Structure 1
Amino acid sequence: MPLMRATHCPVAQPVLANAGLAGRRRNRQPRIESLAYSFTLPGEPHCAATARTAIRSALDVHGLAPYADLAVLAATELIGTAVKLTPDRELYLSLRYRMGALRLVLWDQHPRHTDPDDVSLCTERRRSALWLLAACVSDCGGEWGTSEAEPPQRGVKSWAVLPCRSPELGPGAQDRGRMRA
Protein backbone atom coordinates (compact mmCIF):
# COMPACT_ATOMS: atom_id res chain seq x y z
CA MET A 1 0.00 0.00 0.00
CA PRO A 2 1.48 3.38 -0.94
CA LEU A 3 2.32 5.86 1.79
CA MET A 4 -0.27 8.64 1.91
CA ARG A 5 0.45 12.11 3.26
CA ALA A 6 -2.02 14.75 4.27
CA THR A 7 -1.50 18.01 2.43
CA HIS A 8 -3.20 21.36 2.49
CA CYS A 9 -5.27 22.39 -0.45
CA PRO A 10 -3.16 24.85 -2.49
CA VAL A 11 -6.28 26.76 -3.55
CA ALA A 12 -7.40 27.28 0.06
CA GLN A 13 -4.18 29.01 1.16
CA PRO A 14 -4.84 32.33 -0.66
CA VAL A 15 -8.43 32.31 0.62
CA LEU A 16 -7.24 31.76 4.19
CA ALA A 17 -4.64 34.52 3.86
CA ASN A 18 -7.23 36.99 2.55
CA ALA A 19 -9.56 36.12 5.41
CA GLY A 20 -6.80 36.71 7.94
CA LEU A 21 -6.80 33.05 8.93
CA ALA A 22 -3.41 31.98 7.64
CA GLY A 23 -0.72 31.96 10.27
CA ARG A 24 -3.16 31.79 13.21
CA ARG A 25 -1.81 29.90 16.13
CA ARG A 26 -3.28 26.44 16.16
CA ASN A 27 -3.55 26.32 19.94
CA ARG A 28 -5.66 29.46 20.18
CA GLN A 29 -8.80 29.01 22.27
CA PRO A 30 -12.02 29.15 20.21
CA ARG A 31 -14.27 32.15 20.70
CA ILE A 32 -17.20 31.73 23.06
CA GLU A 33 -19.56 32.99 20.36
CA SER A 34 -18.51 30.16 18.05
CA LEU A 35 -19.80 27.46 20.40
CA ALA A 36 -22.25 25.51 18.26
CA TYR A 37 -22.35 21.72 18.47
CA SER A 38 -24.97 19.16 17.48
CA PHE A 39 -25.13 15.47 18.24
CA THR A 40 -27.30 12.64 17.03
CA LEU A 41 -27.57 10.10 19.80
CA PRO A 42 -29.13 6.65 20.05
CA GLY A 43 -32.21 6.61 22.23
CA GLU A 44 -30.56 4.46 24.85
CA PRO A 45 -29.66 5.30 28.46
CA HIS A 46 -25.89 5.17 27.84
CA CYS A 47 -26.08 8.07 25.37
CA ALA A 48 -26.43 10.53 28.28
CA ALA A 49 -22.85 9.73 29.34
CA THR A 50 -21.62 10.42 25.80
CA ALA A 51 -23.45 13.75 25.74
CA ARG A 52 -22.08 14.73 29.18
CA THR A 53 -18.50 14.08 28.08
CA ALA A 54 -18.94 16.00 24.82
CA ILE A 55 -20.65 18.98 26.49
CA ARG A 56 -18.07 19.23 29.27
CA SER A 57 -15.25 19.11 26.70
CA ALA A 58 -16.86 21.70 24.41
CA LEU A 59 -17.51 24.13 27.25
CA ASP A 60 -13.97 23.71 28.57
CA VAL A 61 -12.45 24.44 25.14
CA HIS A 62 -14.61 27.54 24.70
CA GLY A 63 -13.80 28.96 28.15
CA LEU A 64 -17.19 28.14 29.64
CA ALA A 65 -16.07 25.42 32.06
CA PRO A 66 -17.76 27.14 35.06
CA TYR A 67 -21.12 26.39 33.41
CA ALA A 68 -20.39 22.72 32.63
CA ASP A 69 -22.06 21.21 35.71
CA LEU A 70 -25.37 22.94 35.06
CA ALA A 71 -25.27 22.27 31.30
CA VAL A 72 -24.43 18.60 31.87
CA LEU A 73 -27.26 18.25 34.38
CA ALA A 74 -29.71 19.89 31.97
CA ALA A 75 -28.66 17.63 29.09
CA THR A 76 -28.86 14.54 31.30
CA GLU A 77 -32.39 15.40 32.41
CA LEU A 78 -33.57 16.15 28.85
CA ILE A 79 -32.02 12.95 27.48
CA GLY A 80 -33.16 10.76 30.38
CA THR A 81 -36.75 11.88 30.02
CA ALA A 82 -36.75 11.44 26.25
CA VAL A 83 -35.25 7.95 26.52
CA LYS A 84 -37.83 6.98 29.13
CA LEU A 85 -40.78 8.25 27.08
CA THR A 86 -39.51 7.25 23.65
CA PRO A 87 -37.03 4.38 24.04
CA ASP A 88 -34.79 3.17 21.22
CA ARG A 89 -35.39 6.14 18.94
CA GLU A 90 -32.64 8.56 17.92
CA LEU A 91 -32.30 11.90 19.66
CA TYR A 92 -30.82 15.10 18.33
CA LEU A 93 -29.08 17.42 20.82
CA SER A 94 -27.95 20.94 20.05
CA LEU A 95 -25.61 23.01 22.26
CA ARG A 96 -25.17 26.68 21.37
CA TYR A 97 -23.98 29.91 22.99
CA ARG A 98 -26.14 32.83 21.90
CA MET A 99 -26.85 36.24 23.43
CA GLY A 100 -25.19 35.54 26.78
CA ALA A 101 -26.71 32.10 27.35
CA LEU A 102 -26.10 28.43 26.73
CA ARG A 103 -28.96 26.92 24.80
CA LEU A 104 -29.57 23.17 24.90
CA VAL A 105 -32.28 21.82 22.61
CA LEU A 106 -33.25 18.16 22.35
CA TRP A 107 -35.52 16.72 19.69
CA ASP A 108 -36.91 13.25 20.26
CA GLN A 109 -39.18 11.16 18.08
CA HIS A 110 -42.12 10.85 20.43
CA PRO A 111 -45.19 10.01 18.35
CA ARG A 112 -47.98 12.55 18.06
CA HIS A 113 -51.10 11.72 20.06
CA THR A 114 -54.50 12.19 18.48
CA ASP A 115 -56.62 11.98 21.64
CA PRO A 116 -56.58 15.28 23.60
CA ASP A 117 -56.60 13.37 26.90
CA ASP A 118 -53.49 11.46 25.83
CA VAL A 119 -51.80 14.72 24.82
CA SER A 120 -52.51 16.24 28.25
CA LEU A 121 -51.40 13.13 30.12
CA CYS A 122 -48.19 12.80 28.10
CA THR A 123 -47.36 16.51 28.49
CA GLU A 124 -47.90 16.28 32.24
CA ARG A 125 -45.71 13.17 32.49
CA ARG A 126 -42.88 14.89 30.66
CA ARG A 127 -43.13 18.07 32.75
CA SER A 128 -43.19 16.16 36.03
CA ALA A 129 -40.22 14.02 34.91
CA LEU A 130 -38.26 17.24 34.33
CA TRP A 131 -38.76 18.60 37.89
CA LEU A 132 -35.02 18.66 38.63
CA LEU A 133 -34.32 20.53 35.38
CA ALA A 134 -37.07 23.01 36.23
CA ALA A 135 -35.62 23.66 39.70
CA CYS A 136 -32.03 24.12 38.50
CA VAL A 137 -32.93 26.31 35.54
CA SER A 138 -35.20 28.45 37.70
CA ASP A 139 -32.45 28.79 40.31
CA CYS A 140 -30.00 30.20 37.74
CA GLY A 141 -32.58 32.54 36.19
CA GLY A 142 -32.95 30.56 32.98
CA GLU A 143 -35.91 29.07 31.21
CA TRP A 144 -36.95 25.69 29.91
CA GLY A 145 -39.86 24.12 28.14
CA THR A 146 -41.25 21.53 25.78
CA SER A 147 -43.36 21.73 22.67
CA GLU A 148 -44.26 19.70 19.65
CA ALA A 149 -41.41 19.90 17.15
CA GLU A 150 -42.11 21.92 14.03
CA PRO A 151 -41.45 20.49 10.58
CA PRO A 152 -39.11 19.25 9.27
CA GLN A 153 -38.47 17.78 12.73
CA ARG A 154 -41.00 15.50 14.32
CA GLY A 155 -41.71 14.48 17.86
CA VAL A 156 -41.07 16.71 20.88
CA LYS A 157 -38.64 19.58 21.29
CA SER A 158 -37.35 20.19 24.83
CA TRP A 159 -34.96 22.98 25.74
CA ALA A 160 -33.10 24.76 28.50
CA VAL A 161 -31.62 28.26 28.32
CA LEU A 162 -28.87 28.82 30.90
CA PRO A 163 -27.68 32.42 31.34
CA CYS A 164 -23.93 33.08 31.51
CA ARG A 165 -22.49 36.18 33.16
CA SER A 166 -20.37 37.58 30.35
CA PRO A 167 -17.95 39.79 32.36
CA GLU A 168 -16.40 36.70 33.93
CA LEU A 169 -16.11 34.82 30.67
CA GLY A 170 -13.13 34.53 28.45
CA PRO A 171 -9.80 32.73 28.45
CA GLY A 172 -8.58 32.05 31.96
CA ALA A 173 -11.78 33.27 33.66
CA GLN A 174 -11.82 30.22 35.92
CA ASP A 175 -8.18 30.81 36.95
CA ARG A 176 -8.77 34.52 37.67
CA GLY A 177 -11.70 33.57 39.89
CA ARG A 178 -9.55 31.14 41.85
CA MET A 179 -6.85 33.77 42.37
CA ARG A 180 -9.35 36.21 43.92
CA ALA A 181 -10.69 33.62 46.34
Structure 2
Amino acid sequence: MSTYGLRSHGWPATLAVTELIAVNAALTPGRELYLSLRHRDDALRLVVWDQHPRHADPDTLALCEVRRRRALWLLAAVVDDWGGDWGVGEARPPHQGVKSWVLLPQ
Protein backbone atom coordinates (compact mmCIF):
# COMPACT_ATOMS: atom_id res chain seq x y z
CA MET A 1 0.00 0.00 0.00
CA SER A 2 2.95 2.30 0.45
CA THR A 3 3.45 2.35 -3.34
CA TYR A 4 0.19 4.27 -3.69
CA GLY A 5 0.66 6.48 -0.64
CA LEU A 6 -1.81 4.36 1.33
CA ARG A 7 0.45 3.16 4.15
CA SER A 8 -1.85 4.81 6.70
CA HIS A 9 -4.76 2.80 5.30
CA GLY A 10 -3.28 -0.53 6.44
CA TRP A 11 -5.16 -0.71 9.74
CA PRO A 12 -8.63 0.36 8.51
CA ALA A 13 -8.34 -1.71 5.33
CA THR A 14 -7.35 -4.81 7.30
CA LEU A 15 -10.22 -4.32 9.73
CA ALA A 16 -12.70 -3.67 6.89
CA VAL A 17 -11.67 -6.80 4.98
CA THR A 18 -11.79 -8.89 8.15
CA GLU A 19 -15.26 -7.64 9.09
CA LEU A 20 -16.69 -8.04 5.59
CA ILE A 21 -15.37 -11.58 5.21
CA ALA A 22 -16.40 -12.65 8.72
CA VAL A 23 -19.98 -11.37 8.39
CA ASN A 24 -20.47 -12.56 4.82
CA ALA A 25 -19.04 -16.00 5.61
CA ALA A 26 -21.33 -16.32 8.64
CA LEU A 27 -24.37 -15.44 6.51
CA THR A 28 -23.42 -17.80 3.68
CA PRO A 29 -21.56 -20.68 5.36
CA GLY A 30 -19.79 -23.09 3.05
CA ARG A 31 -20.21 -20.88 -0.02
CA GLU A 32 -17.66 -18.94 -2.02
CA LEU A 33 -16.77 -15.30 -1.39
CA TYR A 34 -15.04 -12.96 -3.80
CA LEU A 35 -12.89 -10.08 -2.56
CA SER A 36 -11.74 -7.12 -4.63
CA LEU A 37 -9.27 -4.52 -3.37
CA ARG A 38 -8.53 -1.59 -5.69
CA HIS A 39 -6.96 1.84 -5.58
CA ARG A 40 -8.89 4.13 -7.92
CA ASP A 41 -9.95 7.78 -7.98
CA ASP A 42 -7.85 8.62 -4.91
CA ALA A 43 -9.60 6.03 -2.77
CA LEU A 44 -9.17 2.47 -1.58
CA ARG A 45 -12.15 0.38 -2.67
CA LEU A 46 -13.00 -2.93 -1.02
CA VAL A 47 -15.78 -5.16 -2.29
CA VAL A 48 -16.95 -8.58 -1.12
CA TRP A 49 -19.54 -10.57 -3.01
CA ASP A 50 -21.16 -13.53 -1.29
CA GLN A 51 -23.57 -16.17 -2.56
CA HIS A 52 -26.48 -15.32 -0.28
CA PRO A 53 -29.69 -16.05 -2.19
CA ARG A 54 -32.23 -13.27 -2.68
CA HIS A 55 -35.28 -13.64 -0.44
CA ALA A 56 -38.61 -13.69 -2.28
CA ASP A 57 -40.58 -12.58 0.77
CA PRO A 58 -40.22 -8.79 1.36
CA ASP A 59 -40.38 -9.14 5.16
CA THR A 60 -37.64 -11.77 5.20
CA LEU A 61 -35.54 -9.64 2.84
CA ALA A 62 -35.89 -6.59 5.11
CA LEU A 63 -35.03 -8.62 8.23
CA CYS A 64 -31.98 -10.11 6.52
CA GLU A 65 -30.74 -6.64 5.49
CA VAL A 66 -31.19 -5.32 9.04
CA ARG A 67 -29.26 -8.27 10.48
CA ARG A 68 -26.41 -7.81 8.00
CA ARG A 69 -26.11 -4.07 8.67
CA ARG A 70 -26.28 -4.61 12.43
CA ALA A 71 -23.52 -7.24 12.20
CA LEU A 72 -21.30 -4.66 10.46
CA TRP A 73 -21.44 -2.06 13.27
CA LEU A 74 -17.67 -2.11 13.85
CA LEU A 75 -17.02 -1.66 10.13
CA ALA A 76 -19.44 1.28 10.08
CA ALA A 77 -17.65 2.97 12.98
CA VAL A 78 -14.19 2.64 11.43
CA VAL A 79 -15.30 3.75 7.97
CA ASP A 80 -17.13 6.74 9.44
CA ASP A 81 -14.04 7.69 11.47
CA TRP A 82 -11.98 7.66 8.24
CA GLY A 83 -14.51 9.80 6.36
CA GLY A 84 -15.40 6.92 4.08
CA ASP A 85 -18.56 5.24 2.95
CA TRP A 86 -19.90 1.70 2.93
CA GLY A 87 -22.97 -0.19 1.89
CA VAL A 88 -24.69 -3.45 1.11
CA GLY A 89 -26.85 -4.32 -1.86
CA GLU A 90 -27.79 -6.96 -4.34
CA ALA A 91 -24.89 -7.94 -6.61
CA ARG A 92 -25.18 -7.11 -10.29
CA PRO A 93 -24.44 -9.63 -13.03
CA PRO A 94 -22.17 -11.41 -13.61
CA HIS A 95 -21.99 -11.66 -9.79
CA GLN A 96 -24.71 -13.24 -7.68
CA GLY A 97 -25.78 -12.79 -4.11
CA VAL A 98 -24.94 -9.74 -2.01
CA LYS A 99 -22.32 -7.05 -2.62
CA SER A 100 -20.79 -5.38 0.44
CA TRP A 101 -18.43 -2.49 -0.18
CA VAL A 102 -16.18 0.04 1.55
CA LEU A 103 -14.66 3.24 0.20
CA LEU A 104 -11.75 4.78 2.13
CA PRO A 105 -10.62 8.13 0.70
CA GLN A 106 -6.93 8.86 0.37
User: Normalising by the residue count of structure 1, what TM-score does the alignment of the two structures yield?
Assistant: 0.57
Say which one has the larger Rg: 1
Given candidates 59, 67, 89, the residue that maps to 2:31 is: 89
Q: How does 1:32-71 map to 2 (within 5 A)?
A: 59-60=1-2, 62-71=4-13
Partner of 1:73: 15
Given candidates 145, 157, 160, the residue that maps to 2:99 is: 157
What CA distance in whole angstroms lies between the structure 2 residues aligned with 1:147 and 1:77? Answer: 16
What CA distance in whole angstroms lies between the structure 2 residues aligned with 1:161 and 1:62? Answer: 15
How far 1:94 moved relative to its partner?
A: 0.4
Higher relative contact order (CA 8 A, sep 6+): 2
What CA distance in whole angstroms lies between the structure 2 residues aligned with 1:60 and 1:89? Answer: 33
How far 1:65 moved relative to its partner?
A: 2.1
What CA distance in whole angstroms lies between the structure 1 residues aligned with 2:29 and 2:52? Answer: 9
How far 1:151 moved relative to its partner?
A: 1.2
Q: Which has a greater percent of strand?
A: 2
Classify the secondary structure of the residue corresponding to 1:93.
Answer: strand
Q: Deviations over 1:45-95 (max 9, x none)?
A: xxxxxxxxxxxxxx2454422211100000011001001100111111000
Partner of 1:120: 62
CA RMSD of aligned residues (A): 1.1
What CA distance in whole angstroms lies between the structure 2 residues aligned with 1:60 and 1:90? Answer: 30
The amino acid of 1:88's aligned partner reads G
What CA distance in whole angstroms lies between the structure 2 residues aligned with 1:163 and 1:125? Answer: 27
Determine what percentage of the aligned residue pairs are the same residue: 61
- The number of residues matched between the two structures is 106
Classify the secondary structure of the residue corresponding to 1:141.
Answer: coil
Task: Check if 1:144 corresponds to 2:86.
Answer: yes
List runs of 5+ in structure 2 lacking aligned partners.
none
Structure 1 residues 99 and 60: CA distance shift in structure 2, 3 A: same
Q: Deviations over 1:136-178 (max 9, x none)?
A: 11111100000000111100000000011xxxxxxxxxxxxxx
What CA distance in whole angstroms lies between the structure 1 residues aligned with 2:64 and 2:91? Answer: 15
List runs of 5+ in structure 1 lacking aligned partners.
1-58, 165-181
User: Normalising by the residue count of structure 2, what TM-score does the alignment of the two structures yield?
Assistant: 0.95
